[in-house]
Amino acid sequence: MSSEIVIRVKNLSKCFNIYDQPRDRLKQAILPRLQRLFGRPQKSYHKEFWALRNADFEIRRGETVGIIGRNGSGKSTLLQLLCGTLTPTHGDIEVTGKVAALLELGAGFNPEFTGRENVFLSGSFYGLTREQVQERFDRIAAFADIGDHIEQPVKTYSSGMFVRLAFAVIAHVDADILVIDEALSVGDAVFTQKCMRFIRSFQEKGTLLFVSHDMQSVVNLCRNAIWLNAGETRMKGTSKNVSEAYLKYTLQEVYGEEAILLSAAPKESTLDAPMFEEAGPPMLDYEAVASVSSNLFDAKGWKTGDAEIEAVQLESLTGENDGILRGGELVRMVVRARAHQPLERPVIGFMVRDRLGQNLFGENTLSLTALDQARVAAGQMFEGEFVFRLPMLPDGQYSVTASVADGDLHNNVQHHLLHDALIINVASSKVRWGLVGVPFERVTLNCI
């Protein structure tokens, strides 16, 4: 990633005028001027809606930044301002380089034109000549893969076909900055994988702004994230930290007054300490070794006060007590909690995440609670025990998120959740491909 700043936003705000009736637009255009001319107090015939207020951030060349927030938080408005399709009410935007954007479905397309005609139209928007578009057309059509529909008016397209053609265009305009809104969510699995391969390739040379409600996609793709709430910048930071804070916020919105989520933060001296160390050079003996260390005291998360996690443990069941895990062996995960208030349907669970915060595997006791409603009294200890074969993991550090809840699949409250309650350090792993590995019984190459 370069140190060159390609997007600089300072005190950026956008206000829309909301009119109760169509005729109020005409009144607003004429009457205040007449009132001012005759020295009378000016009356406003509209309401102000601030879609964005005082946004302030910088993005460097080669950086991938996620933009998250609830519907109506200002995400799309921000992207349209960055792309130049809206003008700010006040504030400054500096963008260096060609910007290509995939915003709301059909943006930039004329519904009466065919797909072919819209390819040339969109190409002209991005500064390509007709000859340049013609030279790339076959590749664009192959990427979109909508067959003969490319010769039909786009008003006949499904939402998936819209996205296919729009993404195919922006993938071939040699953009420096790529802006992708939630539109990818309507694509099928095969096309989404094709888009993700392009995005991964683009990240090697370009700058990406990615908007999604899927926190795992944001964590997977983006190093940093910006959380918008009601038009204001609520938080900026690493995608892992921002997504965790956003998860807490959204759960609180769901719970309302039923449960108040309080921060469960580590002691002050450790708040700014890096949780994960940079991985060292790869070791070549390929003997998988993993050590487990408790991080319960420094773990962050939230709690309601009705129940509290008191211990998280991972141990081998092979009889070896050297504290080292090697992958493939039988292990036991134990999450122990204490109830401070009676729990009607207690649920305990865990999730193992990599250093980027991506979910690798996990489990909970929800199915057991559904079969046998085991009530827990106030003051009582209870625990969830999970026995499984530990996957082989690539070199690096992994964290265990643990939680205790009360309820069922559709209606529950997480009373205590701790990120990074347990740290698993893996060195000299046998795994070279993928996020997790499995012990292969045999690998052969035969001539037949």
Together in a domain, 199 and 305: no
Question: What DSSP letter does each residue of 204-256 carry, written as one string?
Answer: TTSEEEEE-S-HHHHHHH-SEEEEEETTEEEEEEEHHHHHHHHHHHHHHHHHG
Residue 380 has pLDDT above 90, yes or no: yes
Averaged pLDDT for residues 68-94? 90
444 lies in some domain: no
Instruction: Indicate whether 81 and 15 sit together in one domain.
Output: yes
149 within a domain of the structure (yes/no): no
Same domain flag for 398 and 313: yes
**Residue 345 contacts residue 369 (beta carbons within 8 Å):** yes
- Residue 27 located in a structural domain: yes
127 within some domain:
no
pLDDT band at 270 (very low <50, low <70, confident <90, very high): very low
Percent over 70 (pLDDT), the chain: 88
Tokens, residue 61: 């060349």
374 and 243 in a single domain? The answer is no
CB atoms closer than 10 angstroms to residue 24 = 17
pLDDT at 290 exceeding the cut of 60: yes
pLDDT for 357 equals 81
Average of pLDDT values for 249-255? 85
Given this model, what pLDDT does residue 19 score?
85
Number of domains in the chain: 2
Domain span at 181:
5-97+176-252
Cα dihedral 358/360/361/364 (nearest 10)? -10
Q: Is position 415 within any domain?
A: yes
Mean pLDDT, the chain, as a whole number? 84
Tokens of 100: 């290509």
Q: Is a pLDDT exceeding 70 seen at residue 282? A: no
Cα(10)–Cα(25) distance, integer angstroms: 30
Same domain, 314 and 399: yes
Residues 213 and 326 in one domain: no
User: In terms of domains, do 238 and 324 share one?
Assistant: no
Q: In this predicted model, which residue has the larger pLDDT, 186 or 216? A: 216
Domain CATH for 34: 3.40.50.300
Lowest mean pLDDT among 24-28, 120-124, 144-148, 388-392: 24-28
pLDDT at 197: 86
Question: Alpha-carbon dihedral of residues 189, 191, 194, 196, nearest 10 degrees?
Answer: -60
Q: What is the mean pLDDT of residues 271-292?
A: 48
- Give every CB contact of residue 155 below 8 A, 6+ residues apart in sequence: 111, 112
C-beta separation of 119 from 132 below 8 A: no
Calpha distance 256→279 (Å, rounded) = 41
Q: Which long-range contacts (CB under 8 A, 24 or more apart) does 103-108 make?
A: 103/76, 103/79, 103/179, 103/181, 103/183, 104/76, 104/181, 104/183, 105/159, 105/162, 105/163, 105/166, 105/183, 105/186, 106/154, 106/162, 106/166, 107/166, 108/166
pLDDT digits (tens, 9 = 90+) for 163-203: 889 889 999 999 999 998 876 666 666 787 788 888 888 98
Could you tell me if residue 367 is inside a domain? yes
pLDDT at 279 over 50: no
User: For 30-42, what is the mean pLDDT?
Assistant: 80
Which of 136, 193, 187 has the alpha carbon at shortest distance from 163? Answer: 187
Q: Rounded to an integer, what distance in angstroms lies between the CA atom of residue 49 and that of residue 331?
A: 55
Cα 377 from chain centre = 38
Q: Is residue 111 part of a domain?
A: no
Tell whether 340 and 412 lie within a shared domain.
yes
> Within 13 Å of residue 206, how many CA atoms lie on the same side as its CB?
21
- Alpha helix positions (H), 73-127: 75-83, 115-125
Which position has the higher pLDDT, 175 or 269?
Answer: 175
Per-residue pLDDT tens for 359-379?
Answer: 899 999 988 876 776 789 999
pLDDT number for residue 266: 56
Mean pLDDT in residue range 137-164:
90
Are 188 and 84 within one domain? Answer: yes
pLDDT band at 275 (very low <50, low <70, confident <90, very high): very low
For residue 269, the model assigns a pLDDT of 32
Contact partners, residue 290, CB within 8 Å, separation at least 6 = 324, 325, 326, 327, 390, 393, 424, 425, 426, 427
Q: Are residues 218 and 328 in the same domain?
A: no
Tell me: the pLDDT tens digits for 93-147? 999 999 988 876 556 788 899 999 999 998 998 889 999 999 999 999 999 889 9
CATH number at residue 335: 2.70.50.60
| d(C-alpha 423, C-alpha 397), whole Å | 7
79 and 221 share a domain? yes
How far apart (Å, rounded) are the C-alpha atoms in residues 326 and 291? 9
Report for 37-41, 47-51, 433-437: range of highest mean pLDDT = 47-51
Residue 382, Cα to own-chain centre: how many angstroms? 33
CA distance 328 to 288: 10
Q: Do 342 and 194 belong to one domain? A: no
Q: What pLDDT was estimated at residue 285?
A: 40
Residue 259: phi, psi to the nearest 5? -150, 135
- Burial status of residue 50 (CB atoms within 10 A of its CB: 0-12, 13-18, 19 or more): middle
For the cut 90, the answer to whether the pLDDT of residue 346 exceeds it is yes
Q: Residue 106 has what pLDDT?
A: 56
Q: What is the pLDDT of residue 283?
A: 36
Specify the pLDDT at position 288: 61
Query: CA 437 to CA 226: how far, in whole Å?
Result: 33
More confident residue, 189 or 205: 205
> End of a domain among 197, 223, 252?
252
Tell me which residue of 46, 49, 60 sits closest to 13, measured CA to CA.
Answer: 49
Confidence of residue 432 (pLDDT cuts 50, 70, 90): low
Question: CA 395, CA 337: separation in Å to the nearest integer?
Answer: 31
Q: Decide if 23 is inside a domain.
A: yes
CA distance 249 to 373: 29
Rounded distance, CA 436 to CA 360, Å? 8
Q: What is the model's pLDDT at position 10? A: 94
pTM value is: 0.77
